[in-house]
Amino acid sequence: MSAQNALTPRVFLFRHGETEWAKLGRSTGTTEIELNPTGSAQVSSAAAMLVGPGKLLDPRRLERIFVSPRKRAKQTLELLMKPNFDLIQGKYTYTEDIAEWDYGDYEGLKNHEIRVLRQERGHDKERKWDIWTDGCEGGESRHQITERLDRLISQIKEIQQPYMHGEKPVDVLLVAHGLILRCFTKRWIGLSIDNPLPIMFEPGAISVLSYKNNDVDEPALQIGLSLPSEEDALQRIEETYTNDSD
């Protein structure tokens, strides 16, 4: 693990596990859908491999956790942190800023059904509907999404800026949804929501963002991440316990 990777604050993105609507390709914004058995297993498996003292997602190194208030995201947090929930008490906040895109009139519909509906309403005569550009009737526009995500990004930077060289562990975790986390990723690196950057984010998956050169003004995608060795893990556990006792 490089010195920068070990010290620079990180932002972990975790997408909730599979739901029946997600499995069927239905737009799921404000509707309260629970994880299905596959989704629960996805999150539990990730927790066993990735979460715990000395592991990639170390609860003791988390300063804040921002969670979508939708039931499927809450369930995901509970499963993800189940063996370590006592370590995150007082650190997590449910916020609409990281809730899924509000699909409005398109809630519960598949993409082809949305396009048929829009054509019936006289839209999209010159090109196909694209949520990144056109937003959702009765729901949110890309400008509204940008506003709330930028607000959250500013909050995260305020938390992490004083500790860019590892003076204190201040990792942040977001637990949310596929589309909004892809939007967040674009805004993190300064791209507009409708930028055509292709991003995939599977249910129950984790992604990592950070900063180049330990600089809060250089947010970056961490597309390659060295996992901690056993020696690194033991050292980080010792450092975290020391910080906790200060």
Give the catalytic positions in this structure: 16, 100
For residue 122, give Cα distances in angstroms to 15, 103, 133, 197.
35, 19, 17, 29
13, 207 Cβ separation under 8 angstroms: yes
- Which tokens in the block code for residue 240? 């975290």
- Would you say 101 is a known binding-site residue? yes
H/E stretch holding 3 reads: helix 3-7
**Residue 173: CA count within 13 A, CB half-sphere:** 28
For the chain, how many residues are written?
Answer: 246
d(CA 80, CA 205): 11
CB 6 within 8 A of CB 239: no
- Three-state DSSP class for residue 219: strand
Please give the Cα distance from 47 to 79 (Å, whole number). 7
Annotated ligand binding at 100? The verdict is yes
| Binding-site residues from annotation for substrate | 28-29, 72, 100-103
| Binding-site residues from annotation | 28-29, 72, 100-103
